[in-house]
A and B are shown apart, each in its own frame.
Chain A
Amino acid sequence: MRVNVNNPVLVKEVKLRFRSLKSFTGILFYLIAMSIFVFGFIFLNTSLTGTGFFRPEQSFLLFGMLTFIQLGLILFITPGLTAGTISTEREKQTLNILLTTSQSSMQIILGKLSSSIAFLVLMLVAGLPVYSLVFLFGGISPGQLGLIFLFFFLTMITVGSIGVMFSTITRKTIVSMIATYGTMIFLAGVTAFFFLITIQVNMMGSGVNTSPAPFAHFWASINPGILIFTLLNPTTDNFVNEMTQIDFPVWAGFTIFYVLVTATAITISIKKLRVNMKRSK
């Protein structure tokens, strides 16, 4: 069966990215590091403790740690892969030629974004066999893994869209990188801090949460770390709901916010790609 990928930028980018030795070594070292971690953890919990077996609770702990490592990887690598997509073309003086072709701004932006995401997906998929080792010892359901990967994918697309947007609206890659990493730090770190602050503010006076705290729920909902906690351990979701007095699942808030951010970032990128043109079909 012949797959018709009708996006020249995507085809070209994928070709260039997968042809480079850098990509191959990146995946190789990622898998080596992951294997050392997994096998090292299993080794420590079996041979060194003298028990000789690996309990499902330990397997779950390993899965949780791997999940957070993968999340960290996504948040760390995605800006690096996307924040230079357009600005690098501008710096290398290839953008003007690309903009005089018949390709629409949408095709160019989506081609750039999807090629970067494709590389990240490959990285995650390549790590799946190592990741799946936890199934041998129980404690995790394939559905749970699938759900986590789904949210990984959404996070990737959102952070990637933000990277492409900054790459389009700033002239220099370095500025775009700083802005994208800054946004990523805000989403992953600052929001958790704001969540704690707003909860504390809400508890002031009475010492307990009696009134709803929508801002606190909002900050918790857009933090990918808290989301992963709720997916790994559903009681965390109840904990957030109790703390904020708002009965709304964290994953739903996360999905709505990230989809909106993605749509906005992609729209801005498309509008701003051909900066001086009033109309671009």
Chain B
Amino acid sequence: MIEIKGLTKKYGSFYALNDLNLNLNEGTVFGFVGANGAGKSTTFSILATLLQPTAGDAFINGKSVKTEPHEVRKQIGYMPDFFGVYDQLKADEYLDFYGASYGISVAKRAELIPQLLELVNLSHKRYEYVDLLSRGMKQRLCLARSLIHDPKVLILDEPASGLDPRARVEMRDILRQLKGMGKTILISSHILPELAEMCDEIGVIDGGRLIAHGSVSDIQAQLKGERLITVKLKGLTDRAARFFEEDPFVTGLEQYTEKHMITFKYRGSEDDQMRLLKHAMEGQLSILSFAEQETDLEDVFMEITRGVETV
């Protein structure tokens, strides 16, 4: 559905995007993770036919963004990170204008607009002026606008930025519905756990280069060469600490005597970890819990991008 081949965008000697390669299947929800200026918006702008790449090409449903931009525009729904609305235009007129811009007939528009407003929970604001709507409502209206021509691909650049927690939850629910409709969605966000929840795949971009790509669990697994393990005990913490310290795969052990808790980093395989736990049980250590701490996407992102900076 989406094929990006060696996409590069240069401004003078600065690479905003450097040899980006990516393939996404139909129905995939892809999360684009990266710091400000990493190249997310540049990628999205090229896919939305707003920017011409310096080198490489991208294809949406087989149509090139470089040579067939008009065809690409019919297939995508684009929501930029920052956007404005027209003054003196009501919500239904706003959607009607964009519907007409995609060549949708008057009758079809009249049928579609209430459905889209319903989808984004804005039916009650149908006759309100768009410039008077709240930020969250404008975001949802813009999302409805990007769906008016029933595109196969949605390109959403930071759709939840600047929204309060309630508006974020509402936006996330709508995106889940869209995922259920089988849309291929490219979404960028700074709120990484949100992406983990709804994305099938994520890509981490830094300095214009895609430095990691895969399923959320794959990316997390990349870090699992060193897992953080927490052991909760019923007394005898010193003895337990000595026991774990003797294991060759254990590093950075910390002991919290008052809480009867030990934490350490573990480099061994899952089998090694299983053996360690078995030995600990056989060694009469009173273990209440032995748990691997969940690594969230924030940690993954920090870990991966830290690696890049030091290279």
Instruction: State the A residues within 8 Å of B (CB).
Output: 8-9, 11-12, 15-16, 19-20, 92-94, 96-104, 274, 276-281
Chain A to chain B contacts (Cβ below 8 Å), 23 pairs: A8-B100, A9-B101, A12-B86, A12-B97, A15-B93, A16-B86, A16-B87, A16-B89, A94-B83, A96-B78, A97-B80, A98-B101, A99-B50, A100-B49, A101-B98, A101-B101, A101-B102, A102-B70, A102-B103, A274-B69, A276-B51, A277-B49, A277-B69
Question: How far, in Å, is B89 (CB) from chain A's closest CB?
Answer: 6
Q: Using A20-B88, A102-B70 as known contacts, say yes or no to A11 and B100 having CB atoms under 8 A apart.
A: yes
Is the CB–CB distance between B76 and A100 below 8 Å?
A: yes
Distance in angstroms from A259 CB to nearest chain B CB is: 29
Known contacts A92-B84, A100-B73, A278 near B101 by CB under 8 Å: no
Chain B CB within 10 A, most for which of A9, A96, A104: A96
- In the complex, whether B48 has a CB less than 8 A from a CB of chain A is yes
CB of B140 within 8 Å of the partner chain: no
**Chain A positions within 8 Å of B86 at CB level:** 12, 16, 92, 94
Find the residue from A9, A94, A100, A101 having the highest chain B CB count within 10 A: A100
Which residues of A have CB within 8 Å of B142?
97
A276:B52 contact, CB within 8 angstroms: yes
Q: Which 3 A-B pairs have the closest CB atoms?
A: A8-B100, A101-B101, A92-B84
Separation of A101 and B49 alpha carbons in the complex (Å)? 10
Task: Provide the bound-state CA to CA distance between A16 and B70, in Å.
Answer: 27
Would you call A279 and B67 a contact (CB within 8 A)? yes
Q: How far is the CB of B193 from chain A (nearest CB, A)?
A: 28
Q: How many cross-chain pairs have Cβ atoms below 8 Å apart between A and B?
A: 80
Chain A CB within 10 Å, residue with most, of B66, B67, B73 = B73
Q: A93-B82, A277-B69, A280-B70 are in contact. Are A12 and B89 (CB under 8 A)?
A: yes
Residues of A within 8 A of B82 (CB): 93
Q: Whose C-beta in chain A lies nearest to the C-beta of B94?
A: A12
Rounded to whole angstroms, the CA-CA distance of A99 and B69 in the bound complex is 11
- Inter-subunit contact A8/B80 (CB<8 Å): no
Classify the secondary structure of B's interface with A. loop
Q: A274 vs B70: C-alpha distance in the bound complex, in angstroms? A: 12
B149 and A102 within 8 A (CB): yes
CB-based contact B101/A280 at 8 Å: no
Asked if B152 CB lies within 8 Å of chain A CBs, one says no
Taking the closest CB of chain B, its distance from the CB of A15, in whole angstroms, is 7
CA distance A12 to B87 in the complex (A): 11
Per a CB cutoff under 8 Å, which of B48, B70, B84, B89 touches A281?
B70
Known: A9-B101, A96-B48. 9 other contacts (CB 8 A): A8-B97, A8-B101, A16-B89, A94-B85, A101-B73, A102-B102, A274-B49, A279-B67, A280-B69
One of A102, A274, A279 near B101 (C-beta < 8 A): A102
Q: Which residues of A contact B87 (CB under 8 A)?
A: 16
Distance between Cα atoms of A34 and B88 in the complex (Å): 29
- The answer, yes or no, to whether B145 is at the interface (CB within 8 Å) is yes
Q: Bound state CA distance, A100 and B45, in angstroms?
A: 10
Contact (Cβ within 8 A) A277 B52: yes
For residue A11, which residue of chain B has the nearest CB?
B100
B14 to chain A, nearest CB (A): 16
* A97-B145, A277-B49, A278-B66 given; A102·B73 CB < 8 A: yes
| CB of B74 within 8 Å of the partner chain | yes
Question: Nearest Cβ in chain B — how far from A119, in angstroms?
Answer: 14
Query: Whole-angstrom distance between the alpha carbons of A98 and B89 in the complex?
Result: 15
Chain B residues within 8 Å of A15, by CB: 89, 93
What residues on B are CB-neighbors of A16 within 8 Å?
A: 86-89
CB-based contact B88/A279 at 8 Å: no
Q: Which residues of B contact A97 (CB under 8 A)?
A: 78, 80, 83, 98, 142, 145
Q: How far is the CA of A12 from the CA of B49 in the complex (A)?
A: 23
CA distance A96 to B98 in the complex (A): 13
**CB proximity to A under 8 Å, residues B46-60:** 48-52
